[in-house]
Amino acid sequence: MGCPIGRASVLALAVLVLALLLATTLLEVKLRLTGRNEEDLRSQCGALTSQLARAEGQRHSFVREGIQVDFGEWNLSHAERDVAWFMLRGLPMKEIAGLRGTSERTVRQQAQAIYRKAGLESRSDLAGRVLERFI
C-alpha cells in the first residue's frame, strides 16, 4: 500500500513542531535573561503559538487524508467509514450504535464488512494497519 505523503514529510512536520516548541522555550529563557519587554515577547510567543497550531492542524489533516486513502482503497461505504472512524477512536460497539441510531448488531456487521474488505481480522488489526501508514 503506497503512502501519498512519505515518511520524510511526517518527519519534517515533526521536526517543525519540535523546532517551534524549542523556539518558544528559548524566548521564555531569553525573557528571564535579558529583561526584554514582556509585551514584545508575548507577541513573539503568540506568533510562535499560531505557527505551532497551524503545524498541528497540518499534521491532523495529513493523518485524516491518509486514513481516507485507506478507506477508499478498501472501498468502504459511507456507513462503514463512519463505523471505522468510531472504532479507531476506541468507542465500544454499543456506543457507536447509539451515535449512529442503529442496532449494535448492525454495527457489528458493518465492522465485519470493514475487516473483510481490508483483509483484517479485528479492531486491533484495523488500528495497526492505519498506524503502519505513519510509522
Is the domain of 104 the same as that of 119? yes
Dist. CA 44–CA 111, nearest whole Å = 48
pTM: 0.56
Take residue 46 and report the three cell numbers written for it.
Answer: 503568540
Q: Is it the case that residue 56 has pLDDT exceeding 70?
A: no
Q: What's the whole-number mean pLDDT along residues 114-118? A: 94
What residue numbers bound the domain in which 110 lies? 76-135
Higher per-residue confidence, 134 vs 35: 134
Question: Which residues, at least 6 apart from 102, have a Cβ–Cβ distance to it below 8 Å?
Answer: none
Secondary structure percentages of the chain, helix, strand, coil, to 5? 80, 0, 20
Q: Which of 73, 96, 113 is the last residue of a domain?
A: 73
Cβ neighbours of 60 (radius 10 Å): 10
Is the domain of 3 the same as that of 68? yes
Dist. CA 9–CA 57, nearest whole Å = 14
Q: Is it the case that residue 60 has pLDDT exceeding 70?
A: no
Task: Encode pLDDT of 69-90 as tens digits.
Answer: 888 899 999 999 999 999 988 9
Domain count for the chain? 2
Provide the pLDDT for residue 57. 61
